């Protein structure tokens, strides 16, 4: 999957879980600037990403996933 | 797998049958959280057409369960339930159940699930710091804590309560020593679970979900995910939530009356391998070797359903003599013809036969499930009879039995004597039909049945069946008011109310408890709150007998008149003329709802071919 495709996938998951329009989710989106991205949405985002990418995150990875940009970093550097 | 665009376009085109079919397929093939959320969102505009029954579920919990919510709501929707879910505050279930002002009571649930895990409920046991001699005392304390919560719930609302068993640790603290003695950590957990079951069994409407068995079924090590537990206090791995949701569904379907009463099965390549009309008796596969043993497992699963009270019927494209020969002559057959209440073995289409079977059995088409190895037959039934629950089978027979056993549509939370004996009723019913077909007038037929009915107040022994009848009876049901066991119990205890139950038998066999009348008396008027009869006895004037009894009791209790509503539903047209046929006058009409009244100076005649026995000696 290309990095662009991963970005689109992450965007749509964040949007769907937080129940906001996809257009509102950008690379910079995070729980601090997107009100709907609360702790519960965070749980669901992590779960949905695991199911979508077939990867179980480590505790360190989960703790780093605090913005769309950081999520992309984790996903693109994850062990294949 | 259907893609999302297909679903969106089916919904825009208002093809709600196709849309729900595609959504179900999508979710079955990829049961992810994202798909559950997608399905729920897309279904919004077509919800109205789905005729869902509402149900309010509260999940009170000690851990993060939120991801289960969209999944269980999507699954419930596929089974005809509009589920509204309230999730309690984190690990606050005690205060929520004890505090009458809690948002939990404000939500007013129909069903409550107490989702707990061992490390939250009894951390000392989870940590292995309890001595074996203290297990009994610990279990007694845990049971009394639960008892206290049940009492608090019961004093306020009548919701069903589902408790979870405590789960075993993946690795008991003593390692394999744990299983060498009866004092290990797992024995401690078993002790608590046994007390929990005993506590639940003492209360109506309190059930146990075996959380430990659920985890074991899917595998302890993959059920949980330490990473998410340690970082987000979420103990379950992503894929476990769908298993949890499916387990919840097994309870919700019987509680919402969304279960099937009958299973219609195909024969060739479904309960034996091969085609009897082509292969012959000696060549079909059924016996100790694969694939014959896979078909034996299917037959065993079907027999288990029969014992649970599920009516069985055959629908097969075959020459009847070929198919029947297998039942009569094949040594390995577990299923016998007398397990089946009705059969259609011919060359007509399956939907046509299934429609006839429903009429034969006198049950609604939506109470039928269909088992067939052939995907084309399944698709045809799905298209032409969307009400039928079609069971999906994998390609080979090895997993047929598991597919049948894992479907939630046959779950029962209580098993009445009637459920256990249902097979025999339908056999007797076939003999009755033969008698009726042999000629003579209807009166002669009634007389020849030798019908005896017993009518009396509901007892602790009959309360489960009475509640079950109010929940399941659709056709001969004047008001279709659904009551739980607790609601029946509180009416029975109220001196203004009467809950009468009718059991019937004739020379062919017992019908069991098949009629219920619930009445109350105010200011000289006896009002019939509920009046219903199982479809098994409709058309034998038992309904007249029950009405006559209720009227006579009301008159002897000093009532001047008796009243009753007919509240129309999609299914109860057969009871519409019941009151006028017995001389009641309509006194009110409001939006299709009809109120009838009868002056108790005029008796309602008892059908003289029915013998009445009253039994009031029981508590």
Of the candidates B41, B67, B226, which has its C-beta nearest A47's C-beta?
A: B67
Q: Is A51 on the interface with B (CB under 8 A)?
A: yes
- A-chain CB neighbours of B66 within 8 Å are 40, 43-44
Q: Is the pLDDT of residue B424 over 80?
A: no
Instruction: Kindly tell me if the per-residue pLDDT of B436 is higher than 80.
Output: no
User: What's the pLDDT at B618?
Assistant: 42
CB spacing of B227 vs A13 below 8 angstroms: no
Give yes or no for A56 touching B (CB within 8 A). yes
Q: What is the pLDDT of residue B586?
A: 95
Residue B44 contacts A where some CB pair is shorter than 8 Å: no
Class of domain B431-614: alpha beta
CA distance B31 to B239: 8
Element spanning B336, H or E: none
* Residue B271 three-state SS: coil
pLDDT at B444 over 80: no
Could you tell me the maximum CA-CA distance found in chain A, to the nearest angstrom?
33
B495 alpha carbon, distance to own chain's centre: 31
> How many residues are listed for chain A in this entry?
80
Give the pLDDT of residue B199. 97
Q: What is the pLDDT of residues B202-257, one digit of tens each?
A: 999 999 999 999 999 999 999 999 999 999 889 999 999 999 999 999 999 999 98
Nearest neighbour of A62 by CB, restricted to B34, B64, B228: B228
**Cβ neighbours of B230 in A, within 8 Å:** 59
Q: pLDDT by residue (tens digit) across B360-396?
A: 998 999 999 999 999 999 999 998 999 999 999 999 9
Residue B619: is its pLDDT beyond 50? no
Å between A51 CA and nearest CA of chain B: 7
What's the confidence (pLDDT) of residue B539?
74
User: What average pLDDT is seen over chain B?
Assistant: 92
Domain span holding position A48: 3-77
Q: Is B230 on the interface with A (CB under 8 A)?
A: yes
Q: Do B34 and A43 touch (CB under 8 A)?
A: no
pLDDT at B616 over 60: no
Phi, psi of B618 (to 5 degrees): -75, 155
% of chain B beyond a pLDDT of 70: 99
- Residue range B114-120: average pLDDT? 96
pLDDT tens digits, residue range B145-156?
Answer: 999 999 999 999
Check CB contact under 8 Å for A48 and B225.
no
Confidence band (pLDDT; 50, 70, 90) for B168?
Answer: very high
Query: pTM here?
Result: 0.79
Cβ–Cβ contact B227 with A under 8 A: yes
**pLDDT tens, B14-64?**
888 889 889 999 999 999 999 999 999 999 988 888 889 999 999 999 999
The tens digit of pLDDT for each residue in B522-571 reads: 999 999 999 999 877 877 789 999 999 999 999 999 999 999 999 999 88
How crowded is the C-beta side of A7, counted as CA atoms within 13 Å?
A: 10
The proportion of chain B whose per-residue pLDDT surpasses 90, expressed as a percent, equals 79
The domains spanning B52-255 and B262-410 adopt the same CATH topology: yes
CB B556, CB B494: distance < 8 Å: no
- Tell me the ipTM for this assembly: 0.92
- What is the 8-class DSSP label of residue B332? T
CATH number assigned to the domain comprising residue A48: 1.10.1200.10
Annotated domain spans of chain B: 1-51, 52-255, 262-410, 431-614
Residue A47 with chain B: CB contacts under 8 Å: 33, 67, 238, 241
**Position B329 pLDDT exceeds 90:** yes
∠ CA B295-B386-B297, rounded to 5°: 10
| In CATH, B52-255 is 3.50.40.10 | no
In angstroms, the CA A46 to CA B232 distance is 10
Cα dihedral sign, B256-B462-B551-B539: positive
Q: Indicate yes or no: CB of A17 within 8 angstroms of CB of B37.
A: yes
Among B37, B232, B234, B237, the strongest candidate for a mutation testing the A interface, having the largest count of A CBs within 10 A, is: B232
Rg from Cα positions in chain A: 11
Check CB contact under 8 Å for B232 and A62.
yes
3-state secondary structure B186-241: HHHHHHHHHHHHHHHHCCCCEEEECHHHHHHHHCHHHHECHHHHHHHCCCECCCHH
Q: Residue B608 and residue B405: Cα distance in Å, rounded?
A: 47
Q: Determine the pLDDT at residue B431.
A: 75
> Per-residue confidence at B157, pLDDT binned at 50, 70, 90?
very high
pLDDT tier, A78 (very low <50, low <70, confident <90, very high otherwise): confident
**Residues contacting residue B533 through CB under 8 Å, at least 6 positions apart:** B473, B476, B477, B502, B514, B515, B542, B543, B546
pLDDT at B518 over 80: yes
Q: Which of B33, B41, B230 sits opposite A47 (nearest CB)?
A: B33
- Report the residue of chain A nearest B30, measured CA to CA: A51
pLDDT at residue B613 is higher than 90: no
pLDDT at B617: 43
**B569/A contact by beta carbon, under 8 A:** no
A59 touches chain B (CB under 8 A): yes
Render pLDDT for B492-508 as a digit per residue (tens, 0 to 9).
Answer: 999 999 999 999 988 87
Question: Selecting from 3.40.50.1000, 3.40.50.2300, 3.30.110.30, 3.30.390.50, what CATH number does the domain B262-410 have?
Answer: 3.40.50.1000
**Biggest distance spanned by C-alpha atoms of chain B:** 79
Q: Check if A2 contacts B (Cβ < 8 Å).
A: no
To the nearest whole Å, the CA of A55 is away from the closest chain B CA by 10
Q: What is the mean pLDDT of residues B56-80?
A: 96
The pLDDT value recorded for residue B440 is: 66
Is residue B293 over pLDDT 60?
yes
Q: Using an 8 Å CB-CB cutoff, list chain B residues near A62.
A: 227-228, 231-232
CB atoms within 10 A of CB B288: 8
- B37 vs A contacts (CB less than 8 Å): 16-17
For A1-56, what is each residue's pLDDT tens digit? 888 999 999 999 999 999 899 999 999 999 999 999 998 999 999 999 999 999 99
CB contact under 8 A, A44 and B38: no
């Amino acid at each position: 999957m290309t990095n662009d495709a991963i970005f689109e996938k992450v965007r749509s998951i964040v949007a769907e879980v937080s129940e906001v329009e996809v257009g509102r989710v950008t690379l910079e989106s995070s729980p601090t600037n997107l009100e709907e991205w609360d702790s519960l949405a965070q749980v669901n985002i992590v779960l949905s990403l695991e199911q979508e990418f077939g990867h179980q995150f480590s505790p360190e990875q989960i703790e780093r996933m605090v913005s769309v940009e950081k999520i992309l970093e984790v996903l693109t550097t994850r062990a294949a | 797998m259907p893609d999302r665009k297909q679903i969106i376009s089916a919904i825009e085109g208002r093809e709600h049958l196709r849309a729900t079919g595609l959504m179900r397929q999508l979710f079955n093939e990829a049961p992810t959280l994202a798909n559950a959320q997608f399905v729920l969102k897309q279904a919004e505009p077509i919800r109205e057409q789905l005729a869902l029954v509402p149900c309010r579920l509260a999940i009170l919990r000690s851990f993060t369960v939120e991801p289960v919510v969209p999944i269980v709501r999507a699954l419930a929707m596929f089974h005809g339930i509009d589920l509204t879910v309230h999730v309690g505050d984190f690990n606050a279930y005690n205060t929520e159940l004890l505090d009458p002002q809690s948002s939990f009571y404000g939500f007013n649930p129909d069903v409550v699930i107490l989702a707990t895990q061992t490390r939250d409920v009894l951390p000392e046991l989870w940590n292995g710091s309890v001595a074996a001699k203290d297990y009994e005392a610990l279990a007694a304390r845990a049971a009394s804590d639960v008892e206290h919560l049940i009492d608090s719930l019961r004093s306020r609302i009548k919701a069903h309560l589902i408790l979870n068993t405590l789960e075993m640790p993946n690795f008991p603290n003593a390692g394999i020593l744990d299983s060498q003695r009866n004092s290990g950590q797992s024995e401690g957990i078993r002790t608590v679970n046994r007390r929990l079951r005993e506590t639940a069994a003492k209360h109506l409407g309190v059930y146990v979900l075996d959380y430990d068995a659920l985890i074991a079924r899917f595998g302890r090590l993959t059920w949980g995910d330490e990473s998410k537990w340690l970082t987000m206090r979420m103990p379950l791995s992503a894929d476990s939530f769908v298993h949890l949701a499916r387990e919840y569904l097994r309870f919700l379907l019987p509680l919402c009356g969304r279960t099937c009463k009958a299973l219609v099965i195909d024969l060739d390549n479904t309960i034996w391998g091969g085609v009897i009309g082509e292969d012959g008796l000696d060549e079909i596969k059924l016996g100790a070797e694969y694939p014959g043993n896979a078909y034996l497992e299917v037959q065993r699963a079907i027999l288990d359903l029969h014992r649970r009270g599920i009516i069985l019927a055959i629908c097969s494209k075959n020459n009847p003599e070929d198919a029947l020969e297998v039942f009569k002559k094949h040594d390995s057959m577990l299923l016998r013809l007398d397990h089946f209440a009705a059969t259609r073995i011919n060359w007509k289409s399956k939907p046509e036969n299934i429609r006839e079977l429903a009429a034969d059995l006198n049950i609604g088409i939506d109470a039928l499930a269909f088992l067939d190895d052939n995907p084309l037959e399944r698709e045809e039934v799905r298209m032409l009879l969307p009400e039928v629950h079609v069971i999906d089978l994998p390609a080979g027979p090895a997993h047929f039995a598991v597919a049948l056993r894992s479907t939630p549509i046959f779950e029962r939370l209580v098993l009445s004597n009637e459920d256990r004996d249902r097979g025999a009723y339908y056999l007797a019913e076939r003999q009755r039909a033969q008698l009726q077909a042999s000629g003579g007038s209807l009166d002669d037929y009634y007389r020849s049945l030798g019908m005896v009915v017993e009518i009396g107040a509901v007892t602790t022994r009959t309360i489960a069946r009475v509640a079950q009848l109010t929940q399941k009876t659709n056709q001969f049901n004047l008001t279709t008011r659904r009551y739980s066991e607790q609601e029946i119990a509180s009416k029975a205890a109220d001196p203004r109310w009467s809950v009468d139950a009718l059991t019937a038998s004739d020379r062919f066999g017992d019908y069991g408890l098949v009629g219920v009348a619930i009445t109350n008396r105010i200011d000289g008027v006896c009002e019939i709150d509920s009046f219903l009869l199982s479809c098994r006895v409709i058309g034998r004037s038992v309904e007249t007998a029950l009405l006559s009894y209720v009227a006579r009791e009301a008159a002897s209790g000093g009532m001047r008149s008796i009243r009753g509503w007919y509240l129309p539903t999609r299914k109860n047209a057969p009871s519409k003329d019941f009151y006028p046929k017995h001389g009641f006058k309509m006194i009110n009409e409001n939006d299709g709802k009809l109120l009838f009244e009868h002056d108790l100076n005029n008796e309602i005649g008892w059908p003289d071919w029915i013998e009445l026995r009253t039994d009031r000696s029981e508590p």
